[in-house]
Structure 1
Amino acid sequence: MRGSHVPATGTVTVTDWPDPRAREPGQLVVRMLHASICGSDLHAAFHGLLHPGGPRRPGYPGHEGVGVVVESRSRRCPEGTLVLTVPQGEMGGCFAELQLLDDLHVVELPAGTDPADSRQLRRLMMAQQYGTCLYAMRQFWPVERPARRAHTCVVMGTGSAGLFFVEEALRLGFRHVVASDLDARRLDVARRLGAVPVHVPRQELAEVVAEVSEGRGADLVVEAVGHDVLRDQAVELAAPRGIVGFFGLPERHGATEIPLWTAFRKNLRLQCSVSAQSEPGLTSFREALRRISEGEIDVDHCLGPEYPLERVAEAMRDAEERRGGHVKLTITP
């Protein structure tokens, strides 16, 4: 089969790999129909977060995909089942013609899904990232702490994850949802969804937050990019007894400084979110699929251009450089 190969940081190629086989109970081979590029894929390939096992993995680092089971040793997912693939993010293999998984890391697509309907499949594929955002938001803002009409939420970054956080904050009832980014085109999407857009550095995010919150600060700040400087700003923007949610990957392995004194004096809760793929029953991904399939959530802004697998390196460079202002790019084996 053909699949992506990342032999070293900064190098993405496509090469031949042995076809995977389902040999253990519960294992599946999925023929990938579509995969999408996540910001964490860019961190892994270009920004120094290459997993030690990544160079040996076909399809690495793709971890957002939909496909059909073509070989199965699972009673739950027989051959022919259409699935959302949710491999552990750091070891995904979606940028390949075939992917070996177990049935704990796939979710069946809704009944009636048409395998020939590319647009429908691509919309449902967004449940992978939307599911990670639902999982994160339930940690950042637990259900026992309902949003009040006076609450303010700030989302830093309006990539696909940031836009999903915008939509979820509005669903939860935050009065003000402020979204910041460097890209005016992505901010236009945030505006259409109902957020107050802030085009940094042309606008001062702190000033906008102070204005909409009447000087109190943000009750919830979600850092959805993965930059140290934004994590620092998130702590500064938070209101006393507020919550700061860290969703973006750290910039490096090892220690990272945070403004702990400020967080301590404000009595903040700093919450990270990772490993939605380990959630029992993959509840958040199932809920994400339901909401998308029933039209409760807007994902059409994520349906950017498609690239064949052989052009995965070009697609990842385009995503890295934000060419065209697209929110998401799709790889179609």
Structure 2
Amino acid sequence: MKAARFERPGIIDCIEVPDLQPRPGKVLVRMLQASLCGSDLHAVYMPLGPMDGPARPGAPGHEGVGEVVDSDDPRFPAGTVVLTAPNVEEAACFADYQLIDPAYLVALPQGARPDHLVVAQPFGTAIFGLKQALGDSGTPDCAVVSGQGAIGLFFTWLLKRRGVRTVIAIEPDAGRRALSASYGADLALDPAGDPVADAVRDVAGSGGAPFVVEAAGRDASRASAIRLAADEARVLLFGMPESMTMDGFPFGDVFLRRLTLISTHSSQEEADLASFRQAVDHVARGDLPVEPLTRSAYRLDDIREAFEAAHHCADGVVKARIDFT
């Protein structure tokens, strides 16, 4: 079978590997669709730890839809189309087949489009993140979302649906800024050319925004998120760090203005994969615009090209998808 393999920083290629064999307690899934996560880009281009040499075939892919080929779990008989939401240890969906613990599978509605449902995995992580950040604390009047890649667009949509009066999107790419309006952004700002801090304060008040989401995964964006927050605001640091140090991070602002910082991960460990199930329901019903996120499709043979396009936001790519069909 074919599988992607991370070789070294910046290099991931498609190779031939031995076919996977069924194993007790695991589900063998033939992949139909997969998509690239921002964390995959970090793993390949900005390794922080384990991704520093040849990795297991299929890694670090963890956003996928496939069809069950072999299973001893009665919930997932052969032929079931499933969302795969593996943890880091099992992430391997950049391959023709993957073996996965059934705890990380969600059966999909019959007739649903795999190329659309694949976005339910990253969308589920955003749903989970917002639960962790806001919970039952109420709905802020204004929120800022820094970064309008797929995850940022999900947060923009979720915040508007939650009832936030004004959602401000910050994004350097003009195409993504334009796209943010269809996900609910009331104002889209270019950090390179717009007076972002002044614009946020004009809308949210002189103190800044009561809730800020950092979804770009860039150190500069994290620092900006802190400075845009009001005193005692909540700041969700969702994007992965570029490094494990705090160089340039304005911790003094966090301390003096009593900010609450939230980071989230491991949504796969939530009971019954609840956030992923919510995401599947939204996508299957057509609540969320998915076409802009699924139009950039690549073959597994072209995995390096897909990573390069996603990394450089080339040709309007918002999210790169691997089509196995």
- Same-fold call, TM > 0.5? yes
3-state SS of paired residue (2:240): coil
| CA displacement, residues 244-300 of structure 1 (integer Å, 9 cap, x when unaligned) | 001100112455563222112222110001110111110000000011111222222
For residue 75 of structure 1, what is the aligned residue in structure 2?
A: 74
For residue 117 of structure 1, what is the aligned residue in structure 2?
A: none
| Mapping of residues 1-333 of structure 1, within 5 Å | 1-25=1-25, 27-49=26-48, 51-52=50-51, 55-89=54-88, 92-110=91-109, 112-113=110-111, 120-142=113-135, 144-148=136-140, 151-195=141-185, 196-253=187-244, 258-333=249-324
| Inter-partner Cα distance in structure 1 for 2:311 and 2:251 | 31
- Relative to 1, partners in 2 of residues 1:32 and 1:256: Cα closer, same or farther, differing over 3 Å? farther
| Inter-partner Cα distance in structure 2 for 1:258 and 1:141 | 23
Aligned-pair CA distance for 1:22:
2.8
Gaps of 5+ in 1: 115-119
| Inter-partner Cα distance in structure 2 for 1:281 and 1:8 | 35
The alignment-based identity, stated in percent, is 37
| Inter-partner Cα distance in structure 2 for 1:320 and 1:60 | 17
CA contact (8 A) 2:43 2:51 kept: no
Q: Tell me the TM-score normalized by structure 2.
A: 0.95
- Relative to 1, partners in 2 of residues 1:218 and 1:106: Cα closer, same or farther, differing over 3 Å? same
CA contact (8 A) 1:38 1:64 kept: yes
Aligned-pair CA distance for 1:52:
4.5
131-140 vs 38-47, which moves further: 38-47
6-15 vs 90-99, which moves further: 90-99
Return the letter of the residue paired with 2:121.
Answer: Q
**Could you say what the CA RMSD is over the residues aligned between the two structures, in angstroms?**
1.7
Aligned-pair CA distance for 1:50:
5.8
| CA displacement, residues 151-192 of structure 1 (integer Å, 9 cap, x when unaligned) | 110000000000000000101111110001110000101123
Return the letter of the residue paired with 1:97.
Answer: D
| CA displacement, residues 192-220 of structure 1 (integer Å, 9 cap, x when unaligned) | 33311001211121111011112131111
| Inter-partner Cα distance in structure 1 for 2:305 and 2:278 | 33
3-state SS of paired residue (1:104): helix
Gaps of 5+ in 2: none
Q: Tell me the TM-score normalized by structure 1.
A: 0.93
| Aligned residues between the structures | 323
3-state SS of paired residue (1:55): coil
